[in-house]
Amino acid sequence: MNKIEGIILDWAGTAVDFGCFAPVNVFVDIFNHAGIEVTMEEARGPMGMLKIDHIRAMLSMPRVSALWEDKYGRSFNEEDVKHLYAEFEPALMASLSEYTDPIDGVIETVQELRAQGLKIGSTTGYTSSMMEVVVSNARQKGYSPDHVVTPDDTDSYGRPYPYMIYRNMEQLKLSASWKVIKIGDTTSDIKEGVQAGVWSVGVAVGSSEMGLTEAEYQELSESEKEAIISRTKQTFMQHGADFTMNTIRELPQLIESINGLLAEGKRPGSVK
């Protein structure tokens, strides 16, 4: 049957942790400790990558790179990356369990898809030790995918490399890339899906790309919500998304639409 067999969900900002705040605050803090003031936008820019790669990407940003040279009289090097990461990991681990609440609609949607026989995989920018905290806490709160892959399982080749998706496909016995949907909340999630040859879908509300807490989002007027959702979706499409959703609750309907496209012989990347 030419139908979707499995979905692969990102974690923070997609399945748990509305707005993806656990890592953002820590990135800002560790740069502050180093005497470099970074913005929330800069801290969010590389979100979804393996976290040491994320730090490297932030240091490579022209403004941040210039601030580093002003402060230290030289360009950043790999030792600086490692030093910042050595601060990042314990700081994140200390707060991570507080950021594991499933995002509204995730538990019910996953139950509905499982009832239809779909497999639920997952990828992340967190390491395995970080995910031990996230997975166990999320399970207690009602969310547990069928499989979890971290960059530690792919020799530290995280997003945008496609390998974590392939490991999920192997473990869950998914038969072809075009029968898989990858869902995420960052541009690196979108690129991961595109490079794996699966259907790549961005979810707007609760995303790191949107960057709002749940309370901040709910305080917006309807027209403000529409505007920020539209802007977020546009960013996903510009980075290669096949589709975008407001929330995960739209996924069952989207799967039906994609199954219709598959019946017509369509493949990921062909429906823009």
Report the catalytic residues. 10, 51
Dihedral sign, Cα of residue 21, residue 131, residue 142, residue 121: positive
Distance CA 123, CA 189 (A): 9
* 70 known member of a binding site: no
Q: Of 181, 191, 206, give the one whose Cα is nearest residue 3.
A: 181
**What's 205's DSSP letter?**
T
Residue 118 CA, chain-centre distance (Å), reads 20
Q: Which two tokens stand for residue 94?
A: 């200390």
Q: Which two tokens stand for residue 129?
A: 């030790």
Q: Which residue has the tokens 């707005």?
A: 19
Distance CA 105, CA 46 (A): 26
Which amino acid, one-letter code, is at 218? Answer: Q
Q: Containing H/E element for 122?
A: strand 119-122
DSSP string, 3-41: S--EEEE-SBTTTBSTT-HHHHHHHHHHHHHTT----HH
* 10 known member of a binding site: yes
Long-range interactions of 67-74: CB distance < 8 A, separation 24+ = 67/36, 67/37, 68/36, 71/34, 71/35, 71/36
Task: Please name the residue ranges forming H helices in 76-186.
Answer: 78-95, 106-115, 128-140, 163-172
Binding site per annotation, positions for Mg(2+): 10, 12, 185
In the annotated binding site, the residues are 10, 12, 185
